[in-house]
Amino acid sequence: ILNVEQSPQSLHVQEGDSTNFTCSFPSSNFYALHWYRWETAKSPEALFVMTLNGDEKKKGRISATLNTKEGYSYLYIKGSQPEDSATYLCAFITVDSGYALNFGKGTSLLVTP
Amino acid sequence: EAGVAQSPRYKIIEKRQSVAFWCNPISGHATLYWYQQILGQGPKLLIQFQNNGVVDDSQLPKDRFSAERLKGVDSTLKIQPAKLEDSAVYLCASSLALDRRNTEAFFGQGTRLTVV
């Protein structure tokens, strides 16, 4: 069982604020790092699949970076909107995990108008 | 493309009763996962199938939980008998899982189980 840490646990921001979350994972045997968004009453959906050290990915106002050597990834949301309210999950795959995703506890984001 | 289908969406049972969940993955996805997400925690892998073979069931409480994947497609997860601590959301996911770029998991909407 791999220890994936996410911080903060929860976050409450105003519409228009920018925010970022952190995911820490073991740096050995790295294979891939995923970010998922899970809105209430919906399915978790993948935001990013990251595989290379130094990867930077962007989708609209959301972006993510990856540092496999030190074992962390950042997720950034620029100009948060109420529809960004969700739980953001980080999941880590090791070389020998058979593609199993090891999830952190998530960061719960609430954006109020 | 149809997504991952799960049923039922909600289930309330009394402790010591049995319950079963069903999952139909995305067509062509060889890998299927069952995750348990207890409130306040991250999803925990219960079992992973590759086609109809088990890859990892190390965290499955085998005294009460069982799972099978019929003909490498649909899957069922059963709990018998249920305990109060089994109250959780049970998520099914599938993936191509061919290489690093194809590890994205596609999730169903989950089954919210309440054991009273």
List pLDDT tens digits, range B6-29: 999 999 999 999 999 999 999 999
> So what's the pLDDT on residue B101?
72
Handedness of CA A27, A51, A109, A103 (dihedral sign): negative
> So what's the pLDDT on residue A2?
67
A55-107 pLDDT, tens digit each: 999 999 999 999 999 999 999 999 999 999 999 999 999 888 778 899 999 99
Residue B71 pLDDT > 90: no
> So what's the pLDDT on residue B1?
60
Distances in Å between the alpha carbon of B30 and those of A49, A97, A102, B14, B106?
19, 16, 19, 34, 12
Tokens 């995923």 map to which residue? A34
Residue of A87, A99, A108 to mutate when probing chain B, most B C-beta within 10 A? A99
Give the pLDDT mean for B87-104.
88
> So what's the pLDDT on residue A98?
79
Q: What is the mean pLDDT of chain B?
A: 94
Any B CB within 8 A of A45 CB: yes
Residue B69 pLDDT > 90: yes
Percent of chain A at pLDDT exceeding 90: 86
Q: What is the mean pLDDT of chain A?
A: 94
Of A43, A49, A89, the CB nearest to B42: A89
Q: Which residues on adjacent β-strands are paired with residue B54? A: B49
The reply to whether residue A100 touches residue B33, judged by beta carbons under 8 angstroms, is yes
> So what's the pLDDT on residue A1?
58
CB A90 within 8 A of CB A27: no
CA distance B82 to chain A (A): 24
Distance CA B41, CA B43 (A): 7
Of A42, A51, A98, the CB nearest to B109: A42
